[in-house]
Amino acid sequence: MFARSAVRTALPVARSFSTSSARQTKVAVLGAGGGIGQPLSLLLKNNPLVTALNLYDIRGAPGVAADVSHVDTASTVQGFAADKLDEALDGTEIVVIPAGVPRKPGMTRDDLFNTNASIVRDLAAAVGRVSPKAHILVISNPVNSTVPIVAATLEKAGVFDPKRLFGVTTLDVVRAARFLSEVTGAPPSETRVTVVGGHSGPTIVPLLSQTKLGKDISGDVYDKLVYRIQFGGDEVVKAKDGAGSATLSMAYAGATFTGSLLRGINGEKDVTVPTFVKSPLYASEGVDFFSSLVTLGPNGVEKIHPIGDLSAAEEKLMAECLPTLKTNIEKGYAFVA
Ligand code: NAI
């Protein structure tokens, strides 16, 4: 008798808890055993908006999960071995994908296409089958092509929602703030730069003219700064000398973007950051995906902002960006077709 009434009174309490501010958000990391995946998982474990973390990889995810699970934050962590992809995706609201091979010296991101295209396609198909409403955050390169691959794969399965697919270009934004801060001497918190376009060399377009501290930079200093933002990844690839590309700064960038999306999903207003999404901005020129400032909300993309006024130098960068970006996007589409 006592036990039954205890159960009855317990139920409404549990229900009111789950519908209050303590929203349940399960995040999966696919490729969690890798150079990016491991520190990214650690950083996500530290985010209070993540309540459960599912770590999947074809190698090593249970070990990473056991390790990360000892961190004393509230979220639960589970690791999933190679044959447990569907279980890893079950009930996830956000899926972050850093699975695939990284660059070695002398390689462009496009050189990774042959290996990473099929990895990303297969993972996207699984997300479409198991958790079709999940927000998908693509880190695997070449982002300009892997994002269209995910879109086309989900489209084929009849579950593509353009509001829930993001190419993670945050590292370009992080680098731009850092490098502008080094040029000006101001702290990075005061040198935020909107970076638009895509995520590889000439498709990365930093809008320095729209920043207070960057707008007057010109000549050689401007050229060098833009080059460094566009090709900063090469500095890391070269310094690692065959051991891969950016992992720690990328994990930071990936966790930052995931954090922004989590805040938007949880109802915070005006969370606006650059990200690579299906976009109307240059669609008339055949560029279906484009990174620009996007406001994030409960359903993902809430508003895609126009890029605003460009300087003459930025117009030139944009003219170089668009044809390459278009080719990269078409390559992704063609792979799935
Ligand atoms: P990594 O080789 O250290 O790790 C990749 C992980 O993916 C490995 O643990 C591997 O076992 C796993 N993996 C491979 N196939 C898989 C599959 N089918 N399912 C699940 N996991 C699978 O490489 P790293 O350095 O972590 O880089 C990962 C990707 O991120 C690369 O494509 C790299 O180019 C890209 N990247 C993207 C950046 C961006 O700004 N978006 C910046 C830096 C890297």
Q: Got the DSSP string for 272-299?
A: EEEEEEE-STTGGGT--EEEEEEEEETT
SS3 235: helix
Do residues 80 and 56 lie in contact, with contact meaning Cβ atoms separated by under 8 Å?
A: yes
Place of tokens 């409403």: 133
On the 0-12 / 13-18 / 19+ scale of CB atoms within 10 A, 216 is exposed
SS3 34: coil
| pLDDT in the model for residue 23 | 74
Q: Phi, psi at residue 142, to the nearest 5°?
A: -75, 115
Ligand 1 proximity of 55 Cβ (cutoff 6 Å): no
| pLDDT in the model for residue 21 | 53
User: What is the CA(20)–ligand 1 centre distance, in A?
Assistant: 36
Report the nearest-CA residue for atom 31 of ligand 1: 102
Contacts of 156 (CB under 8 A, 6+ apart): 336
The pick from 123, 144, 245 for probing ligand 1's pocket by mutation, whose C-beta has the most ligand atoms within 8 angstroms, reads 245
Which positions are annotated as active-site residues?
199
ipTM above 0.95, yes or no: yes
141 is in an annotated binding site: yes
Ligand 1 proximity of 36 Cβ (cutoff 6 Å): yes
Ligand 1 proximity of 171 Cβ (cutoff 6 Å): yes
User: What is the CA(115)–ligand 1 centre distance, in A?
Assistant: 11
Ligand 1 proximity of 112 Cβ (cutoff 6 Å): yes
On the 0-12 / 13-18 / 19+ scale of CB atoms within 10 A, 155 is middle
> What are the pLDDT tens digits along the chain (337 aa)?
333 333 333 333 333 333 445 577 999 999 999 999 999 999 999 999 999 999 999 999 999 999 999 999 999 999 999 999 999 999 999 999 999 999 889 988 889 999 999 999 999 999 999 999 999 999 999 999 999 999 999 999 999 999 999 999 999 999 999 999 999 999 999 999 999 999 999 999 999 999 999 999 999 999 999 999 999 999 999 999 999 999 999 999 999 999 999 999 999 999 999 999 999 999 999 999 999 999 999 999 999 999 999 999 999 999 999 999 999 999 999 999 9
Ligand 1 proximity of 147 Cβ (cutoff 6 Å): no
Rounded to 5 degrees, what angle do the CA atoms 160, 165, 171 make? 160
User: What is the CA(172)–ligand 1 centre distance, in A?
Assistant: 17
| pLDDT in the model for residue 4 | 38
Do residues 97 and 123 lie in contact, with contact meaning Cβ atoms separated by under 8 Å?
A: yes
User: What is the CA(108)–ligand 1 centre distance, in A?
Assistant: 15
Report the nearest-CA residue for atom 7 of ligand 1: 99
Ligand 1 proximity of 29 Cβ (cutoff 6 Å): no
| pLDDT in the model for residue 259 | 98
- Note the residue count of the chain: 337
Q: What is the DSSP letter of 106?
A: T
Which tokens go with 43?
């950083």
Which tokens go with 15?
């229900």
Orientation angle between helical segments 219-240 and 312-336, nearest 10 degrees = 30
- Domains in the chain (CATH in brackets) are 26-167 (3.40.50.720), 170-336 (3.90.110.10)
* Maximum CA extent, the chain: 83
250 is in an annotated binding site: yes
